Amino acid sequence: MVDKLYRMVGVTQKRRPRATFTSVLGELLLTAGVLVLLFVAWQMWIGDLIIGAQNNERGMEYSEQWAAAPPPEPPPLVENPDNPEAPPVFQPPILAHPEAGEVFATMLVPRFGADFQVPVAGGVTREITLDRVGIGVYDESRMPGEVGNFSVAGHRTTWGKPLNLIDKLRLNDAIVIETPEGWYTYRFRTLEYVTPTQVEVLADVPGMPAEQAQESVITLTACSPMYSLAERIIAYGVFEGFQPRAEGPPASLTEGAV
């Protein structure tokens, strides 16, 4: 009956093609090709969107948690170390060095975007900190506000690329470390390109390991050129001041990137 119908309209019933070994192999290879292309798209683009947004979201959650808790007692006011004539400043509380993977702060850089707020944890291993948390603190680092070098590392490409715009920093851009205690503001000074073995960038006086530090600085390290292992890009900043949580966010944040 059906065959007759088909013949009437001039169609011969098609035989269902049998799946052969080669046809299955071909489809598997095509699938593998699509998977590889998807991975590249994820690595170069989609993954950064996802992980970057997740980082900022987690950073914001930490910030909200700290804001919800009763603000800690502000530290004592001390003489301004740069200028004794100037009004006194808050003595920055020095926190304990965090364990590997332990989030103790978030980093805010208005130049990287108004919603940029990436968690900061101890250690610079990729598995524990850099790939999972965002920014990592070197084991030999000082803590924010402490005399010496607060040194951190972060991805410039892939894994949410928190330091992607590190080479777009401009003189005096704010680099703010938010902790439960309050906000530590650093001001960007300069960039440097070094080889991966130049650990002296982490010294208390960057580049001069033998010197005794007099002031607090921050060092950010990331890869350079992008997607390469050949060199490292280093950003330096100097400590400007500490704002206790009870006083609200500092001017370095509220003024935004100028």
Query: Which residues make up the interface to another protein (CB under 8 A)?
Result: 17, 19, 23-24, 27-28, 35, 38-39, 42-43, 46-47, 50-51, 124, 126-127, 130-131, 136, 138, 153-159, 163, 194, 196-199, 201-202, 221-223, 229, 232, 234
* Both structure tokens of 214: 């007099």
The nearer residue to another protein, 224 or 252, going by C-beta atoms, is 224
CB of 175 to another protein, least distance (A): 16
Label the pairing between strands 216-224 and 148-153.
Answer: parallel
Closest to 148 (Cα-Cα) out of 213, 232, 242, 72: 213
Nearest to 146 by CA among 109, 93, 192, 103: 93
Residue closer to another protein by CB (options 93, 237) is 237
* Residue number, 207 or 249, with CB nearest to another protein: 207
Burial 140-154 (b: 16+ CB within 10 A, else e): ebbbbbbebbbbbbb
Virtual torsion, Cα 158, 161, 163, 168, nearest 10 deg: 90
In the bound complex, what is the minimum distance in angstroms from residue 33's beta carbon to another protein?
14
For residue 142, the minimal CB distance to another protein (Å) is: 16
Instruction: For residues 190 and 236, give the distance between their C-alpha atoms in angstroms, rounded to a whole number.
Output: 5
- Residue 151 or 252: the one with the smaller Cβ distance to another protein is 151
Residue with tokens 């500490």: 242
- Distance of closest approach, residue 159 Cβ to another protein, in angstroms: 7
How many CB atoms are located within 10 Å of the residue 210 CB?
Answer: 7
At residue 100, the 3 state secondary structure works out as: strand
Closest to 191 (Cα-Cα) out of 217, 169, 162, 163: 169
Q: Which is nearer to another protein, 185 or 224 (CB)?
A: 224
The least distance separating another protein from the CB of residue 127, rounded to whole angstroms, comes to 7
Cα(151)–Cα(184) distance, integer angstroms: 14
Does residue 251 sit in helix, strand or coil? helix
How near is the Cβ of 243 to another protein at its closest, in Å?
Answer: 29
Residue among 105 and 137 whose Cβ is closer to another protein = 137
Cβ closer to another protein: 42 or 147? Answer: 42
Q: Which position has the token pair 């509220």?
A: 254
